[in-house]
Amino acid sequence: MSFQYYTQEGYDNLKNKLHDLKTRGRREISQAIAEAKDKGDLSENAEYDAAKDAQGLMETEISKLEVLMANARILDESTIDTSKVSLMNKVKIKNIKNGALMTYTLVAEEEADLKQGKISINSPFAKGLLGKAVGEKAQIQAPAGMVEVEVVEISM
């Protein structure tokens, strides 16, 4: 697996989620399994089956987060180049067709949150912007069709 780059905030969020699942999550699942066992015959106990399934899903999530943490690298924001669009850049773009201005920050997949203007570096939109400088145009395949945008500003 290749390294995934995160902001300090994104890395801390992963670490906190992993800690929460390993402590509170495991404790709650154990309690649910114990309560279901107390209800008798396990062969016909839907609550027990559901609790065991939830436990399996949670352990899978814990494993996934552990792999992400092992391959995580924290970006030193002071070394990020803003001459061309790259990971962690805040990019202001203008839709050529309608003149609309939009600002996005390109982040790791796990940090993406469209409501906060954070888009995944792996998204078609981000890939279309990568490597572009201010004033350059990009044709990006969006769900509604091809969109042409111009890079207006690149910052941190």
- CATH number of the domain bearing residue 25: 1.10.287.180
pLDDT class for 40, splitting at 50, 70, 90? confident
Predicted confidence at residue 10, as pLDDT, reads 82
Distance, CA of 136 to CA of 115 (rounded, Å): 26
Q: Kindly report, residue by residue over 55-102, the tens digit of the pLDDT.
A: 999 999 999 999 988 888 887 766 677 788 888 889 999 999 999 999
* 97, 144: one domain: yes
Among candidate residues 74, 97, 118, the one where a domain is terminated: 74
Distance, CA of 154 to CA of 111 (rounded, Å): 19
Statement: residue 36 has pLDDT above 90: no
Question: What residues contact residue 81 under an 8 Å CB cut-off, 6+ apart?
Answer: none
Q: Which residue has the tokens 């989620």?
A: 17
* 66, 89: one domain: no
Predicted confidence at residue 151, as pLDDT, reads 92
Beta strands at 118-120 and 4-6: parallel, antiparallel or unpaired: unpaired
**What is the identity of the amino acid at 27?**
R
Total structural domains in the chain?
A: 2
Predicted confidence at residue 62, as pLDDT, reads 95
Average pLDDT over the chain, rounded to an integer: 87
Among candidate residues 32, 58, 74, the one where a domain is terminated: 74
Please state the three-class secondary structure of the chain as a single string.
CCCEEECHHHHHHHHHHHHHHHHHHHHHHHHHHHHHHCCCCHHHCHHHHHHHHHHHHHHHHHHHHHHHHHCEEECCHHHCCCCCCCCCCEEEEEECCCCCEEEEEEECHHHCEHHHCEEECCCHHHHHHCCCCCCCEEEEEECCEEEEEEEEEEEC
Predicted confidence at residue 2, as pLDDT, reads 66
- Average pLDDT (7-16) is 87
* 42, 105: one domain: no
Predicted confidence at residue 101, as pLDDT, reads 93
Distance, CA of 141 to CA of 136 (rounded, Å): 17
Predicted confidence at residue 155, as pLDDT, reads 86
Range of the domain at 141: 77-155
Q: Which of 156, 2, 122 is nearest to 71 (CA)?
A: 2
Statement: residue 4 has pLDDT above 90: no
